[in-house]
Amino acid sequence: MVDKYEDPFVRIASMIGGDEYLKVARSLLKAEDATDEEIASSTGLRINMVRKVLYDLFGKSLITGIRVKDERKGWFVYRWRTRREEVEHFIENQKKKIEERLQQRFDYENASDFYHCGNEDCPRVTFEDALEGMFKCPSCQNVLNIKKNEKSRKAYSKKIDEIKKDMQQTF
């Protein structure tokens, strides 16, 4: 369980992948330059799970790995270290991606006309699909009528504005 006073690196790791990520992140904070075997030992997780988490966090630029030669075994191992300074950058990138996806959906909602039969269990369909089906619902065969999608447009617009406002406050 993550509390609100936990290190931001640990909180983000937990949000990304749950309990395994939480354990690995806490272990990385306790022991800088830890190997995957040391992390597995301290967390009680299997080595392949630890490696999966490490590679994912590395791919998101939240940790870095340094390749060094293990003096005892004679082969190369990675020593992993947090990049706590990248947490804010990671969060901002995620917000930008979400804002872009919401904007695309908002644009699609504005550019399209949707039709619906009135039955809650049936999906709404685009004009093209309604025309192809002779304006009959593909599920229940009732007549399709144009459906105003103001509610979803307003919801997308509001969420986009919230994210933009939040990103402006951060910078």
Number of domains in the chain: 2
The answer to whether residues 75 and 116 belong to one domain is no
The answer to whether residues 13 and 60 belong to one domain is yes
The model's confidence at residue 100, banded by pLDDT at 50, 70 and 90, is: very high
Contacts of residue 133, Cβ cutoff 8 Å, sequence gap at least 6: 125, 144
* Domain end (from 82, 111, 146): 82
At residue 171, does pLDDT exceed 60?
no
Contact indicator for 57, 21 with CB cutoff of 8 Å: yes
Contact indicator for 156, 91 with CB cutoff of 8 Å: no
102 occurs within a structural domain = yes
The answer to whether residues 32 and 102 belong to one domain is no
Q: What is the DSSP string of 29-73?
A: HHSTTB-HHHHHHHH---HHHHHHHHHHHHHTTSEEEEEEE-TTT
The answer to whether residues 94 and 68 belong to one domain is no
Task: Give this prediction's pTM.
Answer: 0.70
101 occurs within a structural domain = yes
Q: Give the range of the structural domain holding residue 133, as residue numbers without chain letter.
A: 87-169
